[in-house]
Structures are given as C-alpha cells and as structure tokens.
Structure 1
Amino acid sequence: MSRELTAHNRPVYDGLHPYVYGLAAGLVAWFALAAWLLFDRKSDIELSLAMVSVLLFVAVLLPWLLSLIWQKHRRPLDAHQQTVPFREWRAADFAVWGSTLNSTHAAIDMLLPLAAVAFGLTAIGIVFLVCASLAP
C-alpha cells in the first residue's frame, strides 16, 4: 500500500476527449428536440422555440467551427500527435487550474448540468402532457 496521495506515472491531459464533446452536443440536441415535441402548441410558442433553437445551434456550431480552424492551422509538430483512445483518456488525469482531477470526474462535471437540463425538461414536458390530457 502506498502512502502517496497522487498516483505517479499517470498521464495528464488538458483537453476533453472528442466523445465528451459529442455527448454534450447530443444532450443539447435532446433539449431542443424535447422542447419542440413536448411544448409546441400550434402558433403560441413557435417563435420562442425557434429563437431558443437558433441560440442552441449557434452555441454548438461556434466551438465546432473553431476546433476545425484550430486543426487546420496547427503547428507542424502538433499535427503528428494521434488521438488518445477513450479508455486511456478515462484512466488518466485532467489538468484543472494547476491541479489535476480524474478525467471521468471532469467529464461528469461538464456533462451533468447539460443532462440535468435535458432530462428535467423532458420530465416537465411529460407531466405537462399528462396534465393537459386529464384536463376537461
């Protein structure tokens, strides 16, 4: 048993894995889809839903476009680095403000608010539909 507080010889990454970004975009899409399917009532709220959808689309599109531009204009030495498999990234540490955090915990910390909003809106929408169908 080791008395060390930190594990030695574990790689430390400063960027999230692409799967985490994909899951985040999927949760944003889930939120927009749930809003349209569960709260669309004729012409009462279509404009509000359209504006929220455009805002969410831009919030996902801008970071994706910036990542494409960054990949295109990398330094020559950085271009040869291969992507790390998710299993290795998950077992490593994640650099956070001069400290490290388990990569799995970092991904959970990033995705938890998005998941709470997406699943919470879905639950509220289902309750809304049930109450609307039971109303006289």
Structure 2
Amino acid sequence: MTKEVVLHNRPVFDQIHPSIYGAAVGLVAWFAAAAWILFDRQSDIGLLLGMVSVLLLVAVLLPWLLSLVWKRHAKPHQPHPDATSFHDWRIGDFAVWGSKLHATQAAIDMLLPLAAVAFGLTAIGIVFLISARAAP
C-alpha cells in the first residue's frame, strides 16, 4: 500500500503554458548563440552556421505564426481560455493522447532535449576553445 497522497480534481490542461514556450525559445537562442560564439573561428564555417541559424529561426517562427493564425480564426462559439498562471498550470495535469501526465513532467519532457543540446554544445565549444589554445 502506498502512502502517497492522491490529489483528486486537479485541472487538466491541453495546452502548454506560454512560459514553457518562452523557455524553449530561450534554449534555441542559447544553442544558436553558442554555435556562433564558440565555433565561428574559421572563414569557411560561416555559411554552415548561417544555414543552421535559418533552420532554427524557421523552427521557432513556424509554430508561433501557426498559433497566431489559430487564435485569429477561432470559431466564435468557442470560449476563449482564461489566462492561467504558471503555478496553477504546474500543479495540474496535461492531457497526452488520451492519457494524463503531470504538467511538470510534460514541461521537463519538452525542455530536456533542448537543454541537453544547448548545454552540450556549450560544453563542447568550451573544450574546443581550451584545446585550441593549448595546441602549439
């Protein structure tokens, strides 16, 4: 028998909170900035970094533009969702494919790959700079 408290009647959300999207955009910007700052040391890498930056820009702008279109063309009989605070969203559940997941776990699942790539590229870039300075 478990001694965990089961919280009943928690709200179930079907949308990610906007601050999670903001954190995702911040991590993508961190990735692009780390790539440009730490790896732009040779003249032939600029085109590759430019293409990666364009790809990341499209990956961020496309969902944002789609959300703007969705908000503008919402059906008139659909009620507008009230703005939910991050604290209220965090303690609730998140609907995932007919199931529920705790909202904090959903945010971690979304942000963890982006954070791993951004921080991993930063660590690799720092090691790259240190080894370049140490080389004769």
TM-score bracket for this pair, using the shorter chain length: over 0.9
In the TM superposition, residue 7 of structure 1 has moved relative to its aligned partner by 3.2
Aligned length: 135
In the TM superposition, residue 3 of structure 1 has moved relative to its aligned partner by 8.3
Structure 2 stretches of 5 or more lacking a match?
none
Whole-angstrom distance in 1 between the partners of 2:33 and 2:4: 48
Alignment correspondent of 1:64: 64
Q: Residues 127 and 53 from structure 1, CA distance in 2 versus in 1: closer, same or farther, beyond 3 angstroms?
A: same
Whole-angstrom distance in 1 between the partners of 2:5 and 2:66: 37
TM-score (norm 1): 0.92
Alignment correspondent of 1:35: 35
In the TM superposition, residue 6 of structure 1 has moved relative to its aligned partner by 5.5
Whole-angstrom distance in 1 between the partners of 2:96 and 2:73: 25
In the TM superposition, residue 77 of structure 1 has moved relative to its aligned partner by 3.8
Amino acid in structure 2 at the alignment position of 1:18: P
Alignment correspondent of 2:98: 98
Identity percentage of aligned residues = 67
Decide which moves more: 115-124 or 73-82.
73-82
Alignment correspondent of 2:26: 26
Q: Residues 72 and 36 from structure 1, CA distance in 2 versus in 1: closer, same or farther, beyond 3 angstroms?
A: same
TM-score (norm 2): 0.92
In the TM superposition, residue 42 of structure 1 has moved relative to its aligned partner by 3.4
Secondary structure of 1:78's aligned partner: coil
Whole-angstrom distance in 1 between the partners of 2:92 and 2:104: 9
Alignment correspondent of 1:73: 73
Whole-angstrom distance in 1 between the partners of 2:23 and 2:101: 20
Q: C-alpha offsets along residues 9-67 of structure 1, whole Å, 9 cap, x if unaligned?
A: 11101110000001001100100000000000231200100000000000000000000
RMSD: 1.8
Whole-angstrom distance in 1 between the partners of 2:41 and 2:80: 52
In the TM superposition, residue 8 of structure 1 has moved relative to its aligned partner by 1.9
Whole-angstrom distance in 2 between the partners of 1:97 and 1:81: 20
Alignment correspondent of 2:109: 109
Q: Residues 5 and 125 from structure 1, CA distance in 2 versus in 1: closer, same or farther, beyond 3 angstroms?
A: same
